[in-house]
Amino acid sequence: MAVTYESTREMVDNQSRRWLKFLRDNASIILIYTIILLVIGIAALSNENFRSPSNLVNILRQSIILGLIAIGQSVIALTGGLDMSVAQVARIVGLTVATIFAAEGSNPDLIIPLIILGLLIGMAIGLFNGILITRTHANPFIITLGIASILRGVNLAISSTPIRGIPKAYLLIYDYKIGIVPANVLVMALIWVIAYIFTTRTRTGRAFFAVGGSERVARLSAISYNRTLVVAHTFCSVCAALTGLFLLARTGVGDPSAAEGMDFQSIVAVALGGISLYGGRGSMIGTLGGVLLLATLSNVFNLLQVNIYYQQLFLGLIVLITVAAYKSPRAA
Amino acid sequence: MATVSNNASSDAIILSLKHIEKSFGGIHALSDVSFDLRAGEIHALVGENGAGKSTLIKIVTGAYTPDAGDIQINGSVYKSLDPSQARSLGIAAVYQEFNLLPELSVAENISLGAQPLGRFRLIDKRARAALAYELLERLGAHTHIDPNELVKHLTVGEQQLVEIAKALAIDARILIMDEPSAILPSRDLDRLFTVIRNLRDEGRGVIYISHRLNEIFELADRVTVLKDGQTMATKNVADTNHAELVSLMVGRPLTDMYPPRDNTPGEILLEVRDLCVEGTVYNVSFTVRAGEVVGLAGLGGSGRTTVCRALVALADVRSGEIIYQGKPAPRSPAAAAQAGLVLVPEDRKTFGLVLNQSMRFNLSLPNLAQFSRIGVLQNASEKGAIQKIIQNLQIKPPAPDISTENLSGGNQQKVVVGKWLMANPKLVIFDEPTRGIDVGAKAEIYMRIRELTRQGVGVIMASSELPELIGMCDRILVFYEGRLSGEISREKFSEEAIMRLATAVKVDEE
């Protein structure tokens, strides 16, 4: 529906229309946060365990893994692509770091260098993804799927059994608390704020929207398409590497099946949050909503002891419903 | 030379359009068009870009519904047609862009709509190939087109013949050819003309659209001239000449919407030497001075737009030099824009705007560096600059957050122009700066162009609207089939002079 502006309209009318416009422009975000509140409300009323403070904090902590990956995936989705390699990037980082820890006798002095190494691995893969996509002009989905397959092979070669020998100090990344709140939840909140500012208030952030909205217009508007895509993919893979490092602290072992299914889940979170999978529309606030909703639902399912198979089924249904609900009226 | 066939049966009118009107969002594409086609004639349709030729064709093929008027086919009257109805009435069109599936064979393409079926309702491949062969034979093309060849392996000329064969497969009585010669190398033209003449002699009616007047005199029996959505005249080709057609196509009054020129050109800003772009532009050389408006005229496909694109590194330059401010021109659109060499592109919806984003987003896009400090956008400086440009260009509504897809065409175009005005360009290339926008917005844009030249900015203005070229330019370069066919200086400006060069009519032919 187009908003019409006529000089003769009354101010009062303007006021109410501004509200309508706000609702219309932010419909998807309002919708998802309403659903989250509903789910939390129903779960809190019907289940005692759910409303305990420690469980609520737990939901936040559980949402970090998906949250980190989804931030990266959001950026790719804004540019009009999808990154299918995020789970394998997280895994290769975790396995590499674990392998070195194991070989070096759980030396805690290696924690900082290995975190840096992990991030560098992520950066390198992201750079490679970006360069490959801009050189071949292929669909990012296909390129990253190919990279994912290669990484999966490498991961299997590194280890097919859990790797032990992570130093105790490393586990603090997951366990350290300030009062009742885990430190990592606070760090995560900070990362969200940074990601929000990055996408909305920086030149590069605008470039993501421009490239996703129309590659041709962006090119003609002094935006470097290649640079933008390479930056986006590097950013996304670094987010995935962070996830891998975080997962390692949670499980305490190098897990050869770490981050399984996170490719799909991150896309679900992004789509739920209202980022158009055709690029150029959406926001980090929406993605955060998607992540929180999925984390809450998963928590509720576990409390109600719903079978994992049904959880999968439910996730699939959510995707189909979201895609139908967000079907752009502009497409018609 | 043209021969008007006189036997009685071929004089029957098979298609008649009466007082057709069609408008798009307040812009009249066709305001009163009448046209008829006889069996066994080749009827040419000519007119400038935007005269309404394609709209008319789309009404005949059922792609558009007319707002008013009647369509008479074989004596029955229709208010409008839909595409399948048009096909069953024997109407077929061959466009410049073919409707062929490149990965399928010639025979498969020809029978795509109705595959011949054999036993068990399976496709009878042999019958299909035989049908294709028979149709190609009627076109005289059976000797060099194999029905089993994949379409992608054929030349453009051969593909065109396959398109015509498709039309014969549904026994089209009315065949529309939309600039068939524009895409053909000249050696294939004779073959095409022979085919078209044969179709006429079989009693079919052919509507032939072309910008090349020479072809019309060689091929057509009658010609209808459209201008500004109206029929100007229908003539027997034998009774008219180049000059008359040209004046029918262009003759319209100049208005005073063009602000007067009030500065003198300065230094040479851009020099193009022997520019060649694969298959579209050949050996084009020209210069542009600071503060000068250089017009590029030429019909659709003349290479005008390609030259504009090549200047900002959007086309693959095969050879030649582009010297901008004394140095070789930047090699990417982004670098060109940073150096102040910008293109306001022809199609604002595809190349000018990120449609689902706000006016503010679009206006800022090429100017992000101006508004940011260490990569972070400064809200205040962005907002201020945007308010200024909105006011300056009178963009309506003056609401920076409105999505650009909700703006009218004129205001969309102002946003595209505005985003580049903010970038302080040195040389602006306008490609069709006023296509499809209202008179008020046009005047606004002409004023901005004058303002630019006053500041010493060089302007290239490619346009198919001759009055605006004449009103705005210091010099006009005319293109014909990828080459510069001439340059006209201000004192010699006239629409006839431009059209003569644009259709390559030699003066001594008249």
pLDDT tens track for B456-506:
999 999 998 888 899 899 999 999 988 999 999 988 888 888 988 888 765
pLDDT value of position B431: 92
Asked if A3 lies within 8 A of B366 by C-beta distance, the reply is no
Same domain flag for B205 and B225? yes
CB nearest A209 (choices: B345, B351, B361): B361
Interface confidence, given as ipTM, is: 0.82
Q: Which residue of A has its CA nearest to B363?
A: A221
| Contact of B361 with A209, CB cutoff 8 Å | yes
In a domain, residue B146? The reply is yes
For residue B355, which residues of chain A lie inside 8 Å, CB to CB?
Answer: 213-214
| Residue A306, pLDDT above cutoff 70 | yes
| Contact of B224 with B44, CB cutoff 8 Å | yes
| Residue B70, pLDDT above cutoff 60 | yes
Please report, for the domain that includes residue B474, its CATH number: 3.40.50.300
In the beta sheet, which residues pair with residue B24? B27
Q: Establish how many alpha carbons lie within 13 A of residue A159's alpha carbon, considering only the half-sphere containing its beta carbon.
A: 21
Same domain flag for B172 and B321? no
| Contact of B259 with B81, CB cutoff 8 Å | no
CB nearest B377 (choices: A201, A214, A219): A201
In a domain, residue A183? The reply is yes
Q: State whether residue B484 is helix, strand or coil.
A: strand
For residue B366, which residues of chain A lie inside 8 Å, CB to CB?
Answer: 221-223
pLDDT band at A198 (very low <50, low <70, confident <90, very high): very high
Q: What percentage of residues in chain B have a pLDDT greater than 70? A: 93
Tokens of B206: 């052919």
Same domain flag for B329 and B203? no
Tokens of A282: 């959406």
Lowest mean pLDDT segment, chosen from B10-19, B64-73, B246-255, B289-298: B246-255
Same domain flag for B103 and B133? yes
d(CA B302, CA B256): 29
Asked if A281 lies within 8 A of B368 by C-beta distance, the reply is no
The number of helices, as runs of H, and strands, as runs of E, in chain B is 17, 22
Q: What mean pLDDT comes out for the span B126-131?
A: 89
Residue of B354, B370, B413, B422 for testing the chain A interface, max A β-carbons within 10 Å: B354
Size of interface A-B (CB pairs under 8 A): 86
| Contact of B478 with B485, CB cutoff 8 Å | yes
Q: Which residues from A are below 8 Å from B when comparing CB atoms?
A: 2-3, 5, 197, 201-204, 206-207, 209-210, 213-214, 216-224, 280-281, 330
- Least Cα distance to A33 among A274, A230, A205, A216 occurs for A274
CA distance B380 to chain A (A): 12
d(CA B240, CA B244): 7
| Residue B204, pLDDT above cutoff 70 | yes
Q: State whether residue B253 is helix, strand or coil.
A: coil
Cα-flanking dihedrals φ and ψ of residue B200, to 5°? Answer: -60, -45
pLDDT value of position B119: 76
- Cα four-point dihedral sign A57, A61, A66, A69: positive
Same domain flag for B95 and B147? yes
In the beta sheet, which residues pair with residue B284? B275
| Contact of A280 with A83, CB cutoff 8 Å | no
Asked if A224 lies within 8 A of B361 by C-beta distance, the reply is no
Among B250, B268, B290, identify where a domain stops: B250
pLDDT value of position A1: 39
Q: What percentage of residues in chain A have a pLDDT greater than 70? A: 93
Q: Distance between terminal CA atoms of chain B?
A: 16
d(CA B229, CA B226): 6
Average pLDDT, chain A: 88
Number of domains in chain B: 2
Asked if A280 lies within 8 A of B356 by C-beta distance, the reply is yes
In a domain, residue B425? The reply is no
Same domain flag for B113 and B49? yes
Asked if A216 lies within 8 A of B350 by C-beta distance, the reply is yes
In a domain, residue B74? The reply is no
| Residue B254, pLDDT above cutoff 70 | no
d(CA B218, CA B42): 11
In a domain, residue B416? The reply is no
CA distance A28 to chain B (A): 16
Number of domains in chain A: 1
Q: Which residue of A has its CA nearest to B343?
A: A220
Contacts 24+ apart (CB under 8 A), B85-89: B86/B60, B86/B61, B86/B62, B87/B62, B87/B113, B87/B170, B89/B173, B89/B174
| Residue B508, pLDDT above cutoff 70 | no
For residue A222, which residues of chain B lie inside 8 Å, CB to CB?
Answer: 333-334, 337-338, 365-366, 423
Asked if B376 lies within 8 A of A201 by C-beta distance, the reply is yes
pLDDT value of position B439: 65
Same domain flag for B216 and B276? no
Q: Which H or E element spans position B245?
A: helix B242-250
B171 versus B208: the higher-pLDDT residue is B208
pLDDT tens track for B330-354:
988 888 988 999 999 888 888 899 9
In a domain, residue B143? The reply is yes
Asked if A219 lies within 8 A of B333 by C-beta distance, the reply is yes
d(CA B446, CA A91): 60
In a domain, residue A42? The reply is no
Average pLDDT, chain B: 86
pLDDT tens track for B136-152:
988 888 888 899 999 98
Among B223, B250, B277, identify where a domain stops: B250
Full domain range(s) for residue B135? 40-63+81-250
pLDDT band at B26 (very low <50, low <70, confident <90, very high): low
pLDDT tens track for A31-77:
889 989 999 999 999 888 898 988 988 899 989 999 999 999 999 99
In the chain, the amino acid numbered B376 is V
d(CA B26, CA B17): 22
Same domain flag for B148 and B296? no
d(CA B43, CA B4): 11
- Least Cα distance to A219 among B156, B228, B473, B330 occurs for B330
Per-residue buried b or exposed e for B135-146, using 16+ beta carbons within 10 Å of the residue's own CB:
bbebbebeeebb
In a domain, residue A12? The reply is no
In a domain, residue A175? The reply is yes
In a domain, residue B360? The reply is no
Full domain range(s) for residue A180? 55-326
Same domain flag for B107 and B214? yes
Residue of A221, A278, A283 for testing the chain B interface, max B β-carbons within 10 Å: A221
| Residue A176, pLDDT above cutoff 60 | yes
- Least Cα distance to B439 among B186, B257, B226, B166 occurs for B257
For residue A202, which residues of chain B lie inside 8 Å, CB to CB?
Answer: 372, 375-377
What is the SS3 assignment for chain A? CCCCCCCCCCHHHHHHHHHHHHHHHCHHHHHHHHHHHHHHHHHHHHCCCCCCHHHHHHHHHHHHHHHHHHHHHHHHHHCCCCCCCHHHHHHHHHHHHHHHHHHCCCCHHHHHHHHHHHHHHHHHHHHHHHHHHHHHCCCHHHHHHHHHHHHHHHHHHHCCCCECCCCHHHHHHHHCEECCEEHHHHHHHHHHHHHHHHHHHEHHHHHHHHHHHCHHHHHHCCCCHHHHHHHHHHHHHHHHHHHHHHHHHHHCCECCCCCCCHHHHHHHHHHHCCCCCCCCCCCHHHHHHHHHHHHHHHHHHHHCCCCHHHHHHHHHHHHHHHHHHCCCHHHC
Tokens of A56: 């609520």
In a domain, residue A41? The reply is no
Find the largest Cα–Cα distance for chain A. Answer: 78
A27 versus A229: the higher-pLDDT residue is A229
| Contact of B272 with B479, CB cutoff 8 Å | no
CA distance A95 to chain B (A): 35
CA distance A209 to chain B (A): 9
Asked if B353 lies within 8 A of A218 by C-beta distance, the reply is no
d(CA B402, CA B353): 13
Same domain flag for B120 and B212? yes
In a domain, residue A178? The reply is yes
CB nearest B353 (choices: A2, A197, A217): A217
pLDDT value of position B507: 47
In a domain, residue B375? The reply is no
pLDDT tens track for B268-309:
999 999 999 988 899 999 999 999 999 999 887 788 989 999
pLDDT band at B1 (very low <50, low <70, confident <90, very high): very low
| Contact of B295 with B334, CB cutoff 8 Å | no
Q: What mean pLDDT comes out for the span A151-159?
A: 95
Same domain flag for B287 and B227? no
Asked if A206 lies within 8 A of B377 by C-beta distance, the reply is yes
pLDDT value of position B186: 67
| Contact of B36 with B13, CB cutoff 8 Å | yes
Tokens of B379: 């809200």
Lowest mean pLDDT segment, chosen from A76-85, B175-184, B226-235: B175-184
Same domain flag for B135 and B267? no
pLDDT value of position B8: 40
| B76-78 and B475-480 strand pairing | unpaired
In a domain, residue B17? The reply is no
| B91-94 and B268-277 strand pairing | unpaired
Q: Is there a cis peptide before residue B102, judged by omega within 30 degrees of 0? A: no
Among B183, B215, B250, identify where a domain stops: B250
